[in-house]
Amino acid sequence: MRILFSLIFLWVTTTAWAQIPTWKIVPDQSNIIFTATQNNAPISGKFNTFAGEIHFDANQLNESKAHIMVDISSINTSYQAIADTLKTADWFDVKNFPKAEFKTNKIAKLNSNKYQVDGSLTILNKSKPQSLSFELVENTKDKVKIQGNFSIKRTDFGIGKGEWSGTDEVADEVKVNFTFVLIPVALALS
Amino acid sequence: MQIKNSTSHYGIISIFIHWIMALLMIGLIILGLYMVNLPINAQKLKLYGWHKELGILVIFLAIFRLFWRIIDTAPTLPAHMPWFQKFAAHAVHYAFYGFMFALPISGWMISSAAGLPVSFFGLFVLPDLVSTNEPLRLLLQEVHEWLGYGLILAIVGHMGAALYHHFVYKDDILRRILP
């Protein structure tokens, strides 16, 4: 009897877990854009290459989780000299720290289509707790689109060292806006 | 000391605007020539920030100056001046008005084309005049640079003529723009 119950329990939990759809990011419909402040004026750029392992179901937030990996060396700005500078040792030091990542710990629903995520952000191998919010713009079984944003203090991670650690010319706060279009992994593989 | 100009002397408004803008524009030339040769570092960013803010200040002052020039009288040029000297004087002064708008506006366009908007002393951010465009940025840089050289020439000619009037003709030309 106990064996039967254990087997039923195992079957129920594995199927329940397996029911959380796994998603993959569609790169050309997604973006990660950062906006910093230079001399009191905004300057934006983006990270062109990123990927994610995402398990998401709006009705099963407790089982939902995401792991986003960003290729920092894919950083791009319209004025090339800035992107080049951001890759150097005083900034993102891409030679030594080519990746940044975000891992969710908890996803909660705020209201109709807004969600709050508590997670951990790792840049330059420094991990810090990071909260963000996103809006579920589209949510079908074949496509999910989310738009969200968060802010970081670049000095928390050591982004901008030495002469750049002062925040007069380049402010501490950097805003990140992201749009992810997700398709189910099974569809992605076909 | 009069506020407005007379036919023989400049008033305090014109005098103040003249010298404050002379100081600003000469300072901007020196700053500009120095900052473009720096490697990318925090000092370069800081100096570019100053150059941009002060450049926009020039536009605001130039707008006021133009307005003042239109509503106020201008002192008449001395009778002893031949027509071609009067023409040259007017031409250089017109050129100055051209430079005091064309230089900041072309600079503003460079910032726009680079995706590095201009803030006016942290009070507000100016709208971008053009969208980010690398070939346009390079072209505008050339334009801004050569306008700068033109301004240097105009300043040298202007100062040379003023000193010539003062020391050779011994007329009132320089005295009347001094308080």
* Residue-wise pLDDT tens digits, B13-49: 999 999 999 999 999 999 999 999 999 999 999 999 9
Mean pLDDT along residues A93-110: 97
Chain B neighbors of A43, CB-CB under 8 A: 115-117
Choose from A33, A78, A88, A154 for mutation: most chain B CBs within 10 A: A78
Assess A167–B contact: CB distance below 8 Å, yes or no: no
| Whether complex ipTM tops 0.90 | no
Cα(A131)–Cα(B148) distance, integer angstroms: 49
What integer pLDDT is reported at residue B61 of this predicted model? 98
What integer pLDDT is reported at residue A181 of this predicted model? 97
Choose from A75, A80, A87, A169 for mutation: most chain B CBs within 10 A: A169
What integer pLDDT is reported at residue A1 of this predicted model? 81
Chain B neighbors of A170, CB-CB under 8 A: 45
Mean pLDDT along residues B125-146: 97
What integer pLDDT is reported at residue A130 of this predicted model? 97
Chain A neighbors of B116, CB-CB under 8 A: 38-39, 41, 43, 79, 82
A189 against A173, higher pLDDT: A173
Predicted confidence (pLDDT) at residue B121 exceeds the cutoff of 90: yes
What integer pLDDT is reported at residue A89 of this predicted model? 96
A163/B125 Cβ within 8 A: no
Predicted confidence (pLDDT) at residue A112 exceeds the cutoff of 50: yes
Predicted confidence (pLDDT) at residue A19 exceeds the cutoff of 80: no
As beta bridge partners, residue A42 has: A37
Chain A neighbors of B122, CB-CB under 8 A: 40
The answer to whether the beta carbons of residues B109 and B129 sit under 8 Å apart is yes
Predicted confidence (pLDDT) at residue A16 exceeds the cutoff of 70: no
* Residue-wise pLDDT tens digits, A44-91: 999 999 999 999 998 999 999 999 999 999 999 999 999 999 999 999
The number of angstroms, rounded, from the C-alpha of B67 to the middle of its chain's C-alpha atoms is: 15
What integer pLDDT is reported at residue B171 of this predicted model? 92
Mean pLDDT along residues A104-126: 96
What integer pLDDT is reported at residue A176 of this predicted model? 98
If we measure between CA atoms, which residue out of A163, A122, A171, A107 comes closest to residue B38?
A163
pLDDT band at A2 (very low <50, low <70, confident <90, very high): confident
Q: What is the mean pLDDT of chain B?
A: 96
> What percent of chain A is predicted at pLDDT more than 70?
94
Mean pLDDT along residues B1-23: 94
Tell how strand A173-184 and strand A144-153 pair up.
Answer: antiparallel
pLDDT band at A190 (very low <50, low <70, confident <90, very high): very low
The answer to whether the beta carbons of residues B114 and A79 sit under 8 Å apart is yes
Mean pLDDT along residues B59-78: 95
Tell how strand A41-47 and strand A50-55 pair up.
Answer: unpaired
Q: Which of A38, A81, A170 lies closest to B40 in CB terms?
A: A81
Q: Give the up-direction half-sphere exposure of residue A178: CA atoms within 13 A in the CB hemisphere.
A: 26
Residue A67: both structure tokens together: 């792991």
SS3 B148: helix
Give the global pTM: 0.88
pLDDT band at A8 (very low <50, low <70, confident <90, very high): confident
A169/B49 Cβ within 8 A: yes
Residue in the block written with tokens 């968060």: A150
Task: Report the residue of chain B nearest A37, measured CA to CA.
Answer: B116
pLDDT band at A13 (very low <50, low <70, confident <90, very high): low
